[in-house]
Amino acid sequence: MSADAPGRGDGVNTERPEPLRDLDWPPERARAFTGKVADLYGDLLERLPEMPVGRDWRRAEVREALARPVPEDPMPEDELIEYLRELAFRWSGYLGHPRFYAYISGAGTVPGAAADLLAAGINMNVGGWHLSPSASEVERHLTEWFASVFGLPEGAGGLLTSGGAMATFVGLKVARDRRAGWDVRTRGVAAGPPLAVYLSTETHVVSDRAIDMLGLGLDALRRIPVDDGYRMRVDLLREAIRRDVADGRRPVAVVATAGTVATGAIDPLPEIADVCAEEGVWLHVDGAYGGPAVLADDLRPLFAGIERADSIAFDPHKWLYTPLSGGCLLVRDLAHLRESFDAEASYVHQDRERTDRGQDLGRLGPQFSRSFWALKVWVSLLAHGRRAYAARISHDAALARYLGARVEEREDFELATPVNLSICCFRYVPPDLGGGPEREPYLSMLNERLMTELQLDGRVYCSNAVLGDRFVLRVCIVNFRTEAEDLDALLDVAAEIGARLDAELRPASLGEGVA
Ligand SMILES: *Cc1c(COP(=O)(O)O)cnc(C)c1O
């Protein structure tokens, strides 16, 4: 070191620092604190069914309650626990409430929540195998098991992702790299003919975004119309691919959905797989919602053909009920992931003498550092067993069919589309409503208002779908706390609020109304 190097004789303090342990709580204190947090969780589970499922939150009041200045000194522990209690009980969304059946929201397994605490406590980095031997091998084992459940061949595997959006991105990245026909990783998308990706008008918007993020541009998107069951029209898919080929475009992937977000429709997988095989196009199946239903014997046949996919995205945090967040991407050949994502970094030394170590998962996907997402999924499977999952997934679908039947029985509701998987779409229709051109627009407006009022009411919580021009209410059951009585309550509350809104809003041209 030269004489003028920093730290030498220029007034910089080089004394031996005393230990500074403020950030490291002794094990006894750690145990006590996490115990108190676990008690909060227990209290929440106890009170959840009696709590309102939704409230009319105002940003100002939430901020006022929670947005404190960062303290200079430690907040007293009791005060901190009280703060967390208030956050948990007063100012949160309760997706695990028995009467929450909106969007596609898993309830959050109890063993999964506990596993997340342990995963954070061990604090492994799944990016490197030597930093996470247990996590890496559990994730490998879990993803191989999932691949086998979907019927993918030996050599298939994948990785956990933050959710379905990232799983779709990873799947389409591999599709682009393998099917473009040139080395896109090196030369970029502009080095060849324009690429095209095919999906249906019902495909989740995360595929659009993936195509944008992959540099293909939204113009690469081919939105294939659906049949009256909201399934992709395979004849139109084939036509679109042939037209693009004739025009000098290169079709790289079809995104087929197994369980669409609006109605739970499953695209015709065997026919789409045939088209993909004939045309040399990658088949990505978006099973973010529906995928886990392959575990249920009665639903499995609906997914025939999924085993022919080149990649499958699905979300443990939806129909495997594990706590947010965690998605999964599977590929038919695990080597393809590495070919699409691998990057050498000199600061992560690879000891090539050690052949008894495993794959660094950080080289298989877009993330470098990553936590042990697989643990909450794996521990949930261990704690509950496969059979309980299969039974509950079937039960969710049975509940959706039950709701559909109750809707059809009633005079004041109308089923909007047949029940698929665990989704039921329906709308409130005042029994004495008149006909004419104003009827449909009025019903959409009424149901839109109804959905908003239901979400604010606090007794039940559903969301909506837009089917053609119709705005409809939508229930999706991926919640192991929901039972038939919770669905009965939904119809009762919706009828009550619907009648009140109808009395306020109905135009004279559609009749008198009941109120
Ligand atoms: C939920 C969903 C997605 C998006 O997944 P996230 O986990 O929310 O990122 C994509 N596709 C379908 C069909 C979905 O249901």
Backbone angles phi, psi at 423, to 5 degrees: -110, 135
Neighbours of 236 (CB within 10 A): 16
| Ligand 1 touching residue 319 (CB < 6 A) | no
Instruction: State which H helix or E strand residue 331 sits in.
Output: strand 327-331
Question: At the top level of CATH, which class does the domain 124-370 belong to?
Answer: alpha beta
Supply the pLDDT for residue 349.
78
How far is it, in rounded angstroms, from Cα 263 to Cα 290? Answer: 11
User: CA nearest 257: which of 244, 272, 267?
Assistant: 267
| Ligand 1 touching residue 286 (CB < 6 A) | yes
Closest ligand 1 atom, residue 204 Cα = 11
Asked if 136 and 143 touch (Cβ cutoff 8 Å), the reply is: no
How far is it, in rounded angstroms, from Cα 252 to Cα 173? Answer: 10
- In 156-220, the DSSP E strands lie at 157-161, 195-200
275 three-state secondary structure: helix
Q: pLDDT digit string (tens) for 348-399?
A: 877 778 888 899 999 999 999 999 999 999 999 999 999 999 999 999 999 9
User: CA nearest 311: which of 280, 337, 344, 290?
Assistant: 337
Q: What's the CATH fold of domain 386-510?
A: Aspartate Aminotransferase, domain 1 (3.90.1150)
Q: Identify the residue whose C-alpha is closest to ligand 1 atom 4.
A: 164
How far is it, in rounded angstroms, from Cα 473 to Cα 457? Answer: 15
| Cα–ligand 1 centroid distance for 165 (angstroms) | 6
Supply the pLDDT for residue 11.
85
Would you list the domain boundaries of the chain? 27-92, 124-370, 386-510
Displacement of CA 174 from its chain's centroid (Å): 20
Neighbours of 158 (CB within 10 A): 29
**Rounded alpha-carbon distances, angstroms, from residue 231 to 257, 330, 426:** 9, 23, 19
Supply the pLDDT for residue 4.
53
Supply the pLDDT for residue 515.
46
Asked if 54 and 457 touch (Cβ cutoff 8 Å), the reply is: yes
Neighbours of 120 (CB within 10 A): 12
Displacement of CA 261 from its chain's centroid (Å): 10
Instruction: State which H helix or E strand residue 497 sits in.
Output: helix 484-505
The residues near 461 (Cβ < 8 Å, ≥ 6 apart) are: 53, 54, 97, 99, 100, 101, 102, 454, 455
Pocket test for ligand 1, best of 166, 202, 261 (most atoms within 8 A of CB): 261
Supply the pLDDT for residue 315.
98
- Give this prediction's pTM: 0.96
Residue ranges of the chain with pLDDT lower than 70?
1-9, 513-515
Q: In the chain, what is the straight-line distance between the N-terminal and C-terminal CA atoms, in Å?
A: 90
What type of residue is 322?
T
- The DSSP output letter for 266 is B
| Ligand 1 touching residue 204 (CB < 6 A) | yes
Measured over the CA atoms of residue 74, residue 75, residue 80 and residue 83, the dihedral's sign is: negative
